[in-house]
Amino acid sequence: MSTLEIEVENCENTGRILKMNASGYTRPVDFIRAIVAEDNNTGKWAGRVITRFPPEPNGYLHIGHAKSICLNFSIAAENKGGRCHLRFDDTNPCKEELEYVESIMADVRWLGWDWGEHLYYASDYFKQMYEYAVQLIKKHKAYVCDLTGEQIREYRGTLTKPGKNSPYRDRSIEENLDLFERMKAGEFADGARTLRAKIDMASANLNMRDPVMYRILHATHHRTGDKWCIYPMYDWAHGIEDSVEGITHSICTLEFENHRPLYDWFLDQLDVHHPRQIEFARLNLSYTVMSKRKLGQLVRQGLVNGWDDPRMPTISGMRRRGYSPAAIREFCSRIGVNKFNSTVDIALLEHCVRKDLNKHSPRVMAVLRPLKIVFDNYPEDKVEQLDAINNPEDPSAGSRQVPFSRELYIERDDFMEEPPKKFYRLAPGREVRLRYAYFITCKEVVKNADGQITELHCTYDPATRGGDAPDGRKVKSTLHWVSAAGALSAEVRLYDHLFTKENPDDVAEGKDFISNLNPDSLQVLDNCRVEPSLAGAEPLSRYQFERLGYFCVDPDSTAGRLIFNRTVTLRDTWAKIQKA
């Protein structure tokens, strides 16, 4: 670090700095990393960098949490000897479940991060927090209050009007100690009393107006059982947890900026290790809600199929949809870290997904809306094997063989009986190429009694095996296909944005975000056809269906019933022409 100079470039507006080396080369670095680098330069923490990711286990993690996970774990990884703790803020037994704890750990590991031996829970420190609270009582810095929740809000005042002191604010140390001990012993009903910090009811910062430190909750905790019936509030617990664990940089989202003075006050009054709290803007994503409360509402009302529904922005939902950990990490790196709130276009996330899946996904052929083709000049009992490339981006992936026979399926959208200009796919009398196979020409269209096309009769040119004509003639379109011989039946679930508006909270008066749900966010296609190489495909395996998009094997899939989720589409030139 001694060879580098750090020059701040309007951090408040951009959240970025320039990192300059001796040759004058500069590259952007986010403002949090600049703070960490400066602390390392000055020896503020003796060279230590210890961060933490502190989720509350009351729901499943979403893409916004992924940004925080990647930020905290990567900063620790970038600094020699650095580490990042995984800590569960399990201070509310009414909302927390072991299911959420397990899912959070699985999500963090899936993203590629590991906390090693540094797994902690807020409940690990309940005894320490209680003892610290007693210290504040003894210093006249905390008191037991009998006001109800509604009365506390009334006494608190407003942004333009100072609050007023609780009538219980001046209780003696002895009385407060006695009442607090009795609260802990379970003598009082839920909500009967609270422990509050004694700070300043006239403070311009409402968070400093004698905030509640403890409330009474007679509820069974998922780890401590019924040992405790008083539980710490987040603002009280947060700083103590950081302090006890020796955290150096406590990285939070921007809504905690106004809470920082309280964080600092508690630690200063206790005279304990005092980490630096740093705030950054949370992730907002178009066509998406990030509130765990709203996501939970979607689950409870059955508007989605659970927390891992592939339409959900949860990490488990994205995993099930087919997103890769590398794509999510790349997205989090690209969006950077700022001090101002903004909304990121979901197209950027989809771009990162396409970029990663393009490199690593095997190519296969699948037909979602089958239209049968019969080759009148192909032997009825013949099946030949054609070579197909597994991944043109990865030569080491090799090739596979796909069967070709007298009958096969193409996409119904790849044929038009009366094609308009610029439609170059199959039509009566037109010649096209079948991927890896032959040139074919449509000779006859067969329809049912309702006038619907049921099959096409075509001829193939055996001299064009592999897709090239010896006489040099060209065709304007190449189609994917699946041979009827060995074809597997599959269900395909086509997912789109869960909401119709970029901002789901943009609603008419009297409506809520649910009114913007997209009724076409899921389309299920039965009787699709996929090539036989997909037999036995493992759940969560990712593929590119040629010309269609990227797809993932759903965990509901069985040996007798393949199910694929569409992860993201490919660019469709014809669709663009139709819109023009």
Q: Which residues are catalytic?
A: 56, 282, 292
Which residue from 217, 241, 293, 300 is spatially nearest to 54, judged by alpha carbons?
Answer: 241
End-to-end CA distance of the chain: 54
Rounded-to-integer distance, Cα 339 and Cα 492, Å: 42
Q: Can you point out the beta strands (E) in 135-267? A: 142-145, 194-197, 212-216, 230-232, 249-253
Rounded-to-integer distance, Cα 537 and Cα 550, Å: 15
Contacts of 405 (CB under 8 A, 6+ apart): 378, 382, 383, 384, 483, 484, 485
Looking at the DSSP bridge assignments, the partners of residue 389 are: 399
Rounded-to-integer distance, Cα 63 and Cα 85, Å: 19
Rounded-to-integer distance, Cα 549 and Cα 543, Å: 9
List the Cα angle 249/253/128 in 5-degree steps. Answer: 55
Which residue from 393, 365, 573, 353 is spatially nearest to 477, judged by alpha carbons?
Answer: 573
- Name the phi and psi angles at 196, rounded to 5: -125, 150
Rounded-to-integer distance, Cα 441 and Cα 571, Å: 27
Contacts of 399 (CB under 8 A, 6+ apart): 387, 388, 389, 390
- Name the phi and psi angles at 270, rounded to 5: -85, -15
The total number of residues shown for the chain amounts to 580
Torsion sign, CA atoms 194, 197, 199, 205: negative
Q: Can you point out the beta strands (E) in 206-248? A: 212-216, 230-232
- Asked if residues 122 and 241 have their Cβ atoms less than 8 Å apart, the reply is yes
Torsion sign, CA atoms 353, 357, 358, 360: positive
Alpha-carbon Rg of the chain, whole angstroms? 31
- Asked if residues 91 and 232 have their Cβ atoms less than 8 Å apart, the reply is yes
